[in-house]
């Protein structure tokens, strides 16, 4: 459900999520973050990109996970970028004020 790739030439870590980010998927995402983050930290990335383009539904639990992710990035001294493709997710992120904590890039595509 989550995977990360490190692009060495740009010292960029790309974390990609498959599917939605909601209460039932967040426990697994939380475990992943706990086990994978030490490895990401060890890579000392200059850029971190969170690819959420597959997520149509992001609920409050999912939003909390994103906050934790952003907090981790802040601790590394990196301002991450977040890619989304769902207008609904965009509205949720606007509500949460995530544009103050990350660069949010919206790439529209068909929802249904």
The verdict on 23 binding other proteins (CB under 8 A) reads: yes
Q: At what angle do helices 26-42 and 60-75 cross, to 10 degrees?
A: 10
The verdict on 22 binding other proteins (CB under 8 A) reads: yes
Alpha-carbon distance 84 to 17, whole Å?
11
Query: Which of the residues 47 through 106 are near other proteins (CB under 8 A)?
Result: 56-61, 63-64, 67, 86-89, 91-92, 94-97
Q: Which is nearer to other proteins, 40 or 58 (CB)?
A: 58
Q: How far is the CB of 73 from other proteins (least distance, A)?
A: 16
Q: How far is the CB of 95 from other proteins (least distance, A)?
A: 4
Residue 3 tokens read as: 């995977």
**Residues 6+ positions from 25 with CB-CB distance below 8 Å:** 1, 19, 62
């Amino acid at each position: 459900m989550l995977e990360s790739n490190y692009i060495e030439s740009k010292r960029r870590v790309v974390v990609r999520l498959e599917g939605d980010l909601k209460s039932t998927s967040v426990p697994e995402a939380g475990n992943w973050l706990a086990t994978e983050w030490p490895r990401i930290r060890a890579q000392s990335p200059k850029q971190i990109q969170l690819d959420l383009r597959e997520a149509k539904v992001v609920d409050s639990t999912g939003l909390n996970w994103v906050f934790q992710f952003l907090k981790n990035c802040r601790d590394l001294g990196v301002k991450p970028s977040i890619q989304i493709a769902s207008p609904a997710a965009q509205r949720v992120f606007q509500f949460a004020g995530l544009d103050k904590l990350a660069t949010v890039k919206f790439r529209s595509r068909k929802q249904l």
